[in-house]
A and B are shown apart, each in its own frame.
Chain A
């Protein structure tokens, strides 16, 4: 019995190998020749801060309004990442959508693979999910509605979700619940970010492990232009003008720190 299996495996293997040879026209590159990479992977790291200190879930911070807030959840989408080379050609991240979840540190470092080698001078992306993907039915991956970032009564992604508590919260349970969504029209909550790396370019050589370091100031959610007073502003769960107000606040919460080649 075993022999028969072995025999069949050998035959299959032979067939497989010969097939492979048939279809591959250039001969495999000989071992010792150094391979010149054509692409590389870039990491984009989102470091969460509250003002100037490190931001962690379960820790108290004081907002611009003087409220003490403690977050137990912070999640948001980053999508449509585009890198621009010095020669102005661009590379768009084909993975499209990333759900960053502060409780899962791995999710706050994005891997962008297959970037053509070269020197890149800028990075842009959207905080949120573009309108098209809000209208395309059941999605998978980061956009799976099972991720809890999808409204079941008014279709659309929750683009930014911050939940926590505050002794100053006007809610009877002292909770803070901010779910920002709304994908179209004047009140949409997606926000564009565009960072020029100034003096240093991000160099993708294929042999290095470059990263771009961004900082995210969570306090920006609570201020500028609107100073949030959690005694009255402790709940958001729909699209509209209020959601837009919060989005205008977080529109500048991500900052470029540095590139590392």
Chain B
């Protein structure tokens, strides 16, 4: 198979020139700067673009689509409405998602970054491939089986999109594969690996961690990293971390997909990168602060069916100071370079 490093190598370094983006004309932005070798010490990504050959034009199309309200039935909501860059592409202040017609979903919008390493998507892992992920929000899970064809018709009727498709694929015919692969390029290239923690680990910029941050890091390694495993800060397993079940929603998590009793109330371990920016927390956004998350692990763990063995001894034992230190450490996981990266911003502004 193709080694990702080789694919990335094909892209020469292009300077991210001082090109001002006209609100109407969407210039393809240089992808090259984004396409990095696999960060030091990381496993190889699962999604390598080997079939979906990277190009700046496809990336630009994917970027336009990500911020395109025409993807929703009433042209009111884009992916970017629920996945905001300043929140590491989570949805700030929204416990659960708000869609078209103010329909309220049942789950919290997760941050989007390092998706190329995810073996599956959504809190329940129901989606098995980054290229088919956009189908869910577009066709709206609240109406299962709704149709994507009207969206294709709208895009096909837009001269701007015909032009973007033509530039990306040589033909202006719109279809789902072209759409989804372009979006997979845009989302799949959102690598986040330049937090203070990363600089410290790579011994770049003479980065150091404070005493509190270091104490927090050590506590993290002993208490949290069996599930929130470095370097991605997730083991991508389905686990039950002891949240009491919301009786109104009764979200069965992974079991919703597999139907297996052993998967009830298990959710995909979320990455904790950029965690200070992705509040509210947990699959249903029930917590608004990191303090509440840590209090959950010491005081709130509920022994329901399938509680993870690692938490069965009354959750985790942490002092108030330990929690402060862990929070200090979690704050070193914010990648400001990623949050401000213009290549991922809304091209219409």
Residues in chain A within 8 A of chain B (CB atoms): 134-140, 144-146, 148, 150-156, 179, 237-241
Chain A residues positioned under 8 Å from B152 (CB to CB):
146
Chain A residues positioned under 8 Å from B131 (CB to CB):
137-138
Task: Among B130, B136, B175, B256, point to the contact of A137 (Cβ < 8 A).
Answer: B130
Report yes or no: A155 in contact with B127, Cβ–Cβ below 8 A.
yes
| Contact A155 B126, CB 8 Å, known A138-B131, A237-B144 | yes
Cβ contacts B207-228/A at 8 Å (1 or 0 each):
0000000000000000000000
Seed contacts A138-B177, A154-B257; 18 additional CB < 8 Å A-B pairs: A134-B128, A137-B129, A137-B130, A137-B184, A138-B129, A138-B184, A146-B175, A148-B145, A148-B147, A150-B132, A150-B135, A152-B135, A153-B126, A153-B141, A154-B256, A155-B127, A155-B132, A240-B258
B51 within 8 A of A: yes
Report yes or no: A137 in contact with B141, Cβ–Cβ below 8 A.
no
| Contact A145 B129, CB 8 Å, known A152-B139, A152-B144 | no
Residues in chain B within 8 A of chain A (CB atoms): 51-52, 122, 126-132, 135-136, 138-139, 141, 144-145, 147-149, 152, 175-177, 179-181, 184, 256-259
| Contact A144 B177, CB 8 Å, known A135-B128, A137-B131, A154-B126 | yes
Residue pairs across A and B with Cβ atoms less than 8 A apart, 20 shown, are A134-B128, A135-B129, A137-B132, A137-B180, A137-B181, A137-B184, A138-B132, A140-B175, A144-B175, A144-B176, A146-B147, A150-B135, A151-B144, A152-B135, A153-B126, A153-B127, A153-B141, A154-B126, A155-B127, A155-B128
Query: Smallest Cβ distance from B268 to chain A, in angstroms?
Result: 14
Consensus secondary structure, chain A interface? loop
Task: Among A138, A153, A155, A239, point to the contact of B180 (Cβ < 8 A).
Answer: A138
Report yes or no: B145 in contact with A137, Cβ–Cβ below 8 A.
no
Bound Cα distance A241, B138 (Å): 29
Chain B residues positioned under 8 Å from A239 (CB to CB):
259
Query: Smallest Cβ distance from B281 to chain A, in angstroms?
Result: 23
Report yes or no: B177 in contact with A139, Cβ–Cβ below 8 A.
yes
Bound Cα distance A179, B148 (Å): 18
Chain B residues positioned under 8 Å from A152 (CB to CB):
135-136, 138-139, 141, 144-145
Bound Cα distance A150, B134 (Å): 13
Cβ-closest chain A residue relative to B184: A137
Query: Smallest Cβ distance from A176 to chain B, in angstroms?
Result: 15
Bound Cα distance A146, B52 (Å): 19
Bound Cα distance A146, B149 (Å): 6
Report yes or no: A137 in contact with B148, Cβ–Cβ below 8 A.
no
Cβ-closest chain A residue relative to B177: A138
A134, A136, A145, A156 — which one has the most chain B CB atoms within 10 A of its CB? A145
Cβ-closest chain A residue relative to B149: A146
Query: Smallest Cβ distance from A188 to chain B, in angstroms?
Result: 13
Chain A residues positioned under 8 Å from B139 (CB to CB):
152
Report yes or no: B176 in contact with A146, Cβ–Cβ below 8 A.
yes
Query: Smallest Cβ distance from A211 to chain B, in angstroms?
Result: 32
Report yes or no: A145 in contact with B136, Cβ–Cβ below 8 A.
no
Report yes or no: B129 in contact with A155, Cβ–Cβ below 8 A.
yes
Bound Cα distance A136, B50 (Å): 12
Leading 4 A-B pairs by shortest Cβ distance: A137-B131, A138-B180, A240-B259, A138-B131
Report yes or no: B148 in contact with A146, Cβ–Cβ below 8 A.
yes
Chain B residues positioned under 8 Å from A179 (CB to CB):
145
Chain B residues positioned under 8 Å from A148 (CB to CB):
145, 147
Bound Cα distance A187, B95 (Å): 35
Chain A residues positioned under 8 Å from B130 (CB to CB):
137
Bound Cα distance A140, B175 (Å): 8
A137, A151, A152, A238 — which one has the most chain B CB atoms within 10 A of its CB? A152
| Contact A140 B177, CB 8 Å, known A135-B128, A145-B148, A155-B127 | yes
| Contact A145 B176, CB 8 Å, known A135-B129, A152-B136, A238-B259 | yes
| Contact A138 B145, CB 8 Å, known A150-B132, A150-B135, A153-B136 | no
Chain A residues positioned under 8 Å from B259 (CB to CB):
238-241
| Contact A145 B126, CB 8 Å, known A137-B51, A152-B139, A241-B259 | no
Bound Cα distance A93, B181 (Å): 27
Chain B residues positioned under 8 Å from A137 (CB to CB):
51-52, 129-132, 180-181, 184
Bound Cα distance A135, B51 (Å): 13
Bound Cα distance A151, B257 (Å): 11
Chain A residues positioned under 8 Å from B180 (CB to CB):
137-138
Cβ-closest chain A residue relative to B146: A152
Chain B residues positioned under 8 Å from A151 (CB to CB):
144
Cβ-closest chain A residue relative to B140: A152
Bound Cα distance A137, B135 (Å): 11
Bound Cα distance A179, B138 (Å): 20
Bound Cα distance A241, B261 (Å): 13
Bound Cα distance A139, B176 (Å): 8
